Structure 1
């Protein structure tokens, strides 16, 4: 078994990691670090773990664990690593956006690999440091990468996606508290969302002349999950597009093409991404759905860990959705 540490374990992504790793047959959680809850039981922040673990948060860090997950706010992972020199044998998986872009991928001699398994599986297997993709970025990229590989994204792509309130983090804000969010829908950061940078880098790595992305993110009145719809001009048939997706994801552990239109409940509480392709006149519509806390964050982080340590890629992640 390997020993794992979690930095920032009191938030949503930290809670998901704890839940997964407690039941992972190849992993022992060595510590869960929190500056605000040190000495308190993990179940005080994650009450669903009451009766599952008596583990306590700690203010101490074991710098010699086999793997450490950084579940910190954006901009804080680099600060933490500057103050904490982990062993050269410790593998690091960062869930913030600090190292996702190529210009940020090298940090104090550490080369971070972009951790989208459907795109970089071979690189992830050999990596010591992983930059876990963003939740919107994961969902949208998985919907578009097969077209980019085939050189079919030469036209502009319009994207509309809606995310649950957990995407905003555990700290309450004006647009995440119940009274505002419930029975409400709104857009935010139109055409400027921070995940566009990593999406564009991935698409352009497969198709240099990929078209411009027009991304409109929305806040939904539900807690978790992302449903994304992307559409662009497409000269081929729906059958040709479907074959492209089947070929691209032929060995994907968690990304699957659906024959019927998809909905969010199919993937919530799983590490799955489900995709559906629809053709209308000369427009191709691609719908993709994930759980923002699992495939969009902690589940994908564990998937990357499995690849890095040579475990079965699905280990600890055979989670099933409850549709009703």
Structure 2
């Protein structure tokens, strides 16, 4: 059994990771480290675990685990790794944005590989340290990677994506408070969202002359999921685009092209990404839906762990959506 530890287990991504690892047939959850809940039952912080486990949050870290997941706030993973030493054999999967960009991927002798399996599965399989992609970045890259590989992103790409309130984390704020978020919608960080950096680097690796990404992020009045749309000029046929996507994702177990328009319930509570293509004149519209906490965070982290340890990629992640 693979011994796993979680650093920062009291938030949304930590809670989803606990749920997945407790049900994973190849994993023993060694510890869930939390400075604010040490000694308390995991179910105190995550009521959905009541009756599932009697385990408690720990105030100590076992440096000898086989894999450790960092579920810390952005900017805190590098600080934590600087203060805590793990075994040279311990694999690290970071869910923050600390190591996603090329310029930040080297840290104290560790080399972090960008963990989007549909982009670079072989590099992940050979790695020891993984920088898990951002949630918006995952949904948007999956919509665009096949086009970049074929050289069809020479012009600007217009992107709109709406995310649920869990994307903002567990700590309440003015824009996640129920009274404000309910029956409401708004944009934020127009054209400047932090995930643009990692998206741009991946696309440029496939198509160096890729066009500008014009991204408008939106806050939705729901809790889970991301619905992203991206359109750009594409003068070939819809059938040609569908063939392109089907070929690119033929070996991707979690990324599926749907012949029908999408909705979020298809993917919420799963590690799937569903894509749909629509042609209008000389423009191709690509829709992409994921669960921001699973394929956009904890589920993808487990997917990366499976690849690191040579396990079947879908192991522990065969979750069905509730479509009604």
Q: What TM-score, normalized by structure 1, do the two folds share?
A: 1.00
Counterpart CA distance in 2 for 1:131 and 1:54 is 30
**Match for residue 198 of structure 2?**
198
Counterpart CA distance in 2 for 1:121 and 1:295 is 15
What whole-Å deviation, never above 9, does each CA across 1:226-249 have from its counterpart, x for those lacking one? Answer: 000000011100000000000000
C-alpha RMSD of matched pairs (Å): 0.4
CA offset at residue 50 of structure 1? Answer: 0.3
- 1:146-165 aligned within 5 A: 146-165=146-165
Counterpart CA distance in 2 for 1:315 and 1:173 is 36
**Match for residue 285 of structure 2?**
285
**Match for residue 31 of structure 1?**
31
CA offset at residue 253 of structure 1? Answer: 1.1
Structure 1 unaligned spans of 5+? none
Secondary structure (helix, strand or coil) at the match of 1:124 reads: helix
Counterpart CA distance in 2 for 1:219 and 1:109 is 38
CA offset at residue 262 of structure 1? Answer: 0.9
Counterpart CA distance in 2 for 1:45 and 1:161 is 30
Counterpart CA distance in 2 for 1:305 and 1:314 is 11
**Match for residue 15 of structure 1?**
15
CA offset at residue 91 of structure 1? Answer: 0.1
State yes or no: 1:68 paired with 2:68. Answer: yes
**Match for residue 115 of structure 1?**
115
**Match for residue 268 of structure 1?**
268
Task: Flag as ranges the 4+ runs of structure 1 deviating above 6 A.
Answer: none
**Match for residue 305 of structure 2?**
305
What whole-Å deviation, never above 9, does each CA across 1:14-53 have from its counterpart, x for those lacking one? Answer: 0000000001000000000001000100001100100000
Secondary structure (helix, strand or coil) at the match of 1:286 reads: strand
CA offset at residue 163 of structure 1? Answer: 0.1
Secondary structure (helix, strand or coil) at the match of 1:216 reads: strand
Secondary structure (helix, strand or coil) at the match of 1:236 reads: coil
Secondary structure (helix, strand or coil) at the match of 1:191 reads: coil
What whole-Å deviation, never above 9, does each CA across 1:97-131 have from its counterpart, x for those lacking one? Answer: 00000000000110000000001100110100000
Aligned length: 324
Secondary structure (helix, strand or coil) at the match of 1:317 reads: coil
State yes or no: 1:296 paired with 2:287. Answer: no
Counterpart CA distance in 2 for 1:302 and 1:24 is 9
**Match for residue 237 of structure 2?**
237
**Match for residue 225 of structure 1?**
225
State yes or no: 1:132 paired with 2:145. Answer: no
**Match for residue 169 of structure 1?**
169
Counterpart CA distance in 2 for 1:299 and 1:292 is 9
Secondary structure (helix, strand or coil) at the match of 1:312 reads: coil
Secondary structure (helix, strand or coil) at the match of 2:93 reads: strand
**Match for residue 186 of structure 1?**
186
**Match for residue 47 of structure 1?**
47
Counterpart CA distance in 1 for 2:63 and 2:76 is 18
Secondary structure (helix, strand or coil) at the match of 1:256 reads: strand
State yes or no: 1:213 paired with 2:206. Answer: no
Counterpart CA distance in 1 for 2:301 and 2:63 is 19
What whole-Å deviation, never above 9, does each CA across 1:105-164 have from its counterpart, x for those lacking one? Answer: 000110000000001100110100000000000000000000000000001000000000
CA offset at residue 323 of structure 1? Answer: 0.7
Secondary structure (helix, strand or coil) at the match of 1:231 reads: strand
Secondary structure (helix, strand or coil) at the match of 1:21 reads: helix
What whole-Å deviation, never above 9, does each CA across 1:270-297 have from its counterpart, x for those lacking one? Answer: 0000000000001100000000000000
Counterpart CA distance in 2 for 1:174 and 1:54 is 34
